[in-house]
Amino acid sequence: MLYCPKCASPVKKDGFTTSGKQRYECVSCGFSTVSPAGLDHVDSVFDRKKVEAHVKGKADKYVITSAQNATPINEPFFASLLRYCEENSAKLFVIPYRYRNPTSMFVDKDHDWWDKRLLPYIADTRFNLTKNLQLMGDIKIQPTAARPLSGMDSMTGTECAIFGHPKVQLKSIATRAGEMAKIIATTGSITVPNYTNSKAGKKGQHHHSFSAMIVEKDGTSFHMRHITSCRDGSFIDLDREYTPTETRKAAPAKALVLGDLHHMFMDQMNDLAVFGFGGIVETLRPENVVLHDVIDSYSISHHHKSNPFINYVKHQSKSNSIRKEIEGVIDYLNARAKKAKLHVVSSNHHNHIMQWLSSTDWRNDPENAEFYLETALYMIRGSKMSASGASVPDPFKFWIEKRCPDVSIIDESNGLQIGDFELGFHGHNGPNGAKGSLSNLSKIGTKVIIGHSHTPGREDGSLSVGTSSRLDLEYAKGPSAWLHTHAVVYANGKPTLLTVLPSGKWKK
C-alpha cells in the first residue's frame, strides 16, 4: 500500500508526468506526487563516517528539524527547506527519533527506516553549532511527551540548546546576574504525524508541528528563531516566503507583540532594533504593533510607599511626578504611531495608577495633587453601578485616549483577536482568578501571546514575550531569565519569537 506524504491517506495512480514518471493522487486531500510514502525508504543504519563529516562541516547558518522512524516526510515542506538552504547557504540538520507504533500504517517490521533523502542531513550526536549553543542530537525524547523540555534546564550548563522533537516548545532559563539568559527549545518535525490510537498518541498528533529552528552565526553571538510550515509546505522567515517552487517577498506581518515597555526604564538599543532604521518594524512591516506595560508607574509605585530612602531619591531626582511619567509615554506612543498601528494592552503596571488614586491623600502629595484631582474628577463622574457591580473607569486609559488619538487601548473584556491568536491578555490575570502564566493561559482553548513575566516562552501553541526595559531593574535581583524578546505573527498566521541581543542586533 502506498500513502500520501502530506496527510498519510491512501493514493491512487494518476497518469504519468511528461518525463514518464508514475504520478499518484491522494484520495483524501488531492495532493499529487511521484514519491508516495512506502515507495522510498531505507534501513536505519546510518553511515557513521558520513554523519560525522556532516556535523563537523562549518556554516554560518543552520536549519534544524527532526524526523520519526518508519514515517514518510512532508514532501512540500522538505522541498521548501532545501530551497531555503540553497538560497541562504545554510546547512540542514535532521535529528532522528524513534517511536514504537504497532498500529502505524507505515511500519515495516523487518526494518527501522528513515526516508533515504534525509540520510545526508542526519545529526544524531551532540555537538556545538557555535559558541554557547549545543545541538542535542543524541537525546531521543518520546514524541508524545507533553513537556519535552522537562528536566533539560541544567543539562548544558549556561549554554543554549536545541532538542529534536515534533512538538515546539521554548523556555528561557535563568542565569547569574550579568549573564544573558539561556534558551532551550525543540525543533518541530519534517515527518508526517504517526501516532498510536491512544490518549497519548492523539495528544501527540494534536501538537505535532511541521517546523524547524533557524540558527544564524553572528560573530561570537547567534540568532535563533522557529519557522513553521503551512499546508502547502511554504513558510515565512522574516521578510521572505519560501515555497517548494519559488521564493518571494513576504506580505506584511499581521502583528508584532513587543516585550513589556516600562517606558521610564526602556532599553534604548532594543528600541532602535524595533523602530530604528533597518529594524524589526521596517523589515516586517507589521499591520499591528501590540504593547504591554507601557508605563512603569515608578513615580507613584505602591512598592515604595513605606520606603523613605527610595522616596527621597525620587524627590531629589524629580522622578516622583506621575504627570511627567505619563507625558513621556504619550510622546513615545504618538511618535511610534506614525510607523504602525499601535495597540496598548491593559496591564498590571497601568493599574498601579488606580491603586495610587484609591489609597493616596492628595493633600500629602503636592507634586501630584493637581493630576490627582483632575483624574479623580473624571473617575467620579464616570463611575456607576452596573448589573455586575460597580463600574469605575480606567485612569490610564483616560489619559491615553485623550492624548493619543491613533492608539487603541485593549482590555481583557474586548480583547484583540488576530489570526488564531488572542493578543488582548497581558498575562497577570489567569483563569478563575488565579495568577496568570503561560502554562495556565495556554489551556483556555484560544492561542494567546502574553507579556508580564519578561521571560520568553512557547508552550502548546501559545507564546510569551520578554521585556523592552533594561534587564537590571531595581527589583530584578538574583538569577534572571529576562530577555529582549518579541513575538511576530506572520502573514501566513504562523508565529515566531525574535530576540534582540545586548548589541542591538536581532538578525544577521
Res. 41 pLDDT band, cuts 50 70 90: very low
Shared domain for 47 and 146, answered yes or no, is yes
Read off the pLDDT of each residue in 403-421 and give the average, rounded to a whole number. 93
Using a cut of 0.85, tell me whether the model's pTM lies above it: yes
Average pLDDT over residues 113-129: 93
pLDDT for the residue 29: 78
Contacts of 356 (CB under 8 A, 6+ apart): 297, 300, 302, 322
Which parts of 171-306 fold into alpha helices (H)?
199-207, 268-275, 280-284
Ranking 164-168, 173-177, 324-328 by mean pLDDT, the lowest is 173-177
pLDDT band at residue 412 under the 50/70/90 scheme: confident
Residue 260 DSSP label: B
Answer yes or no: is 448 within a domain: yes
**Mean per-residue pLDDT of the chain:** 92
DSSP 251: P
C-alpha cell at 98: 524513534
Does the pLDDT of residue 40 top 70, yes or no? no
Look at residues 249, 277, 305 and tell me which one is the last residue of a structural domain: 249
> What is residue 5's predicted lDDT score, i.e. its pLDDT?
61
Look at residue 508 and tell me if it is in a domain: no
Are residue 224 and residue 354 in the same domain, yes or no?
no
Q: Is residue 504 part of a domain?
A: no
The CATH number that applies at residue 267 is: 3.60.21.10
**Residue 233 region, left (φ>0) first, then alpha (ψ -120 to 50), else beta?**
left
For 507, list phi and psi in degrees, rounded to 5. -155, 165
358 CB neighbour count, 10 Å cutoff = 12
Domain of 373, in residue numbers: 255-499
Say if residue 4's pLDDT is above 80: no
- In angstroms, the CA 269 to CA 231 distance is 37
Residue 450 to residue 230: CA distance in whole angstroms:
23
Same domain, 164 and 63: yes
Q: How many structural domains compose the chain?
A: 3
> How does residue 26 score in pLDDT terms, banded at 50, 70 and 90?
confident
The answer to whether the beta carbons of residues 296 and 351 sit under 8 Å apart is no
- Report pLDDT for 101: 64
Q: Report the pLDDT value the prediction gives residue 177, as an integer from 0 to 100.
A: 85
* pLDDT at residue 393 tops 70: yes
Task: Give 87-110 pLDDT, tens digit per residue.
Answer: 999 999 999 998 876 565 555 544
For 267-324, what is each residue's pLDDT tens digit? 999 999 999 999 999 999 999 999 999 999 999 999 998 999 999 999 999 999 999 9
Kindly tell me the burial class for residue 183, based on how many C-beta atoms sit within 10 Å of its own C-beta (0-12, 13-18, 19 or more): buried
- The answer on 318 and 211 residing in a single domain is no
The DSSP line for 396-435 is HHHHHHHH-TTEEEE-TTT--EETTEE----SSB-GGGPB
Task: Round to whole Å and give the CA distance between 13 and 474.
Answer: 68
Output the CA angle 44-48-54, nearest 5 degrees.
105
Question: Given 229, 249, 269, which residue is the final one in a domain?
Answer: 249
**What pLDDT is recorded for position 79?**
97
Q: What is the pLDDT of residue 106?
A: 56
Whether residue 73 is found in the same domain as residue 86? yes
Q: Kindly state the average pLDDT of the residues 473-493.
A: 95
CA–CA gap between residue 175 and residue 159 (Å, rounded): 10
pLDDT of residue 34: 80
**353 and 394 fall within a common domain:** yes
Q: Are 143 and 291 members of one domain?
A: no
Based on the fold, state whether residues 299 and 419 are members of the same structural domain. Answer: yes
pLDDT of residue 7: 56
How many residues are listed for the chain in this entry? 508
* Count of H-run helices and E-run strands, the chain: 11, 30
CA distance linking residue 441 with residue 430, whole number of Å = 6
Contacts of 88 (CB under 8 A, 6+ apart): 61
How far apart CA 309 and CA 474 sit, in angstroms, is 13
458 vs 55: which has the higher pLDDT: 458
Based on the fold, state whether residues 73 and 205 are members of the same structural domain. yes
User: Cβ of 363: how many Cβ atoms within 10 Å?
Assistant: 8
CB 286 within 8 A of CB 225: no
Q: What is the pLDDT of residues 415-466, one digit of tens each?
A: 999 999 999 999 999 999 999 999 999 999 999 999 999 999 999 999 999 9
CATH of the domain at 74: 3.60.21
Assess if residue 507 is contained within a domain. no
**What does residue 313 show for φ and ψ, rounded to 5 degrees?**
-65, -40
Percent of the chain surpassing pLDDT 90? 81
The pLDDT of residue 48 is: 83
Pairing verdict, β 384-386 and 389-391: antiparallel
Q: Are 455 and 251 in contact (CB under 8 A)?
A: no
Do residue 87 and residue 30 come from a single domain? no
Q: How far apart are CA 56 and CA 86, in angstroms?
A: 19
- Residue 87 included in any domain: yes
Domain termination residue (choose one: 214, 249, 284): 249
* CA 95/CA 209 separation, integer angstroms: 15
Does a structural domain hold residue 169? Answer: yes
Kindly state the average pLDDT of the residues 327-353: 96
In a domain, 213, yes or no: yes
Regarding whether 27 and 166 lie in a shared domain, the answer is: no
Same-domain status, 346 and 400: yes
